[in-house]
Amino acid sequence: MLLANDPRRKALLKAGAALQSAIFNSADFSSIATDAKGATQISNVGAERMFGYTAAEVMNKITPADISDPQEVIERAKAMSIELGTPITPGLETLGFKASRGIEEIYKL
């Protein structure tokens, strides 16, 4: 058992934080997190490269739907409507529908 002030615990926490940061800031994938209203709160380096906006340019200003290809979002809404048996409106609802119901999803747009 490691106590709160144990140097080994601190080293493990520091290593874990460094690994999380390296994964999150990978340029190989886009990661965007929003608040309940859909405004961007977190955006990684991959998202910056993919969409051409810095994190500062999107924070609290736009939703992922604003920077997604509209036709791809429409197609995604249609596919999800069929899959889930309920109408899903293209736009931000499409991108957050499953998450709002506790369904994990990773997808490409």
What pLDDT is recorded for position 85? 96
Other C-beta atoms closer than 10 Å to the C-beta of 45 total 17
Look at phi and psi of residue 85 and say left if phi exceeds 0, alpha if psi is from -120 to 50, else beta.
left
* Same structural domain, 77 and 55: no
Identify whether 58 is part of a domain. Answer: yes
26 and 55 together in one domain:
yes
Residue 11 CA to residue 2 CA, distance in Å, equals 11
Q: Residue 90: its pLDDT value, please? A: 94
**9 part of a folded domain:** no
In degrees rounded to 5, what are phi and psi of residue 32? Answer: -130, 130
Q: Give yes or no: residues 73 and 109 share one domain.
A: yes
Q: Is residue 94 part of a domain?
A: yes
Range of the domain at 72: 68-109
- Which pLDDT band, with edges at 50, 70 and 90, does 1 fall under? low
Phi, psi of 66 (to 5 degrees): -65, -25
DSSP letter (8 states) at residue 100: G
Residue 34, beta-bridge partner list: 40
Residue type, position 95, single letter: L
Strands (E), the chain: 32-34, 40-43
Q: What is the pTM of this model?
A: 0.64
- Give residue-wise pLDDT tens across range 17-75: 888 888 877 777 888 888 888 899 988 998 898 889 999 999 999 988 888 899 999 99
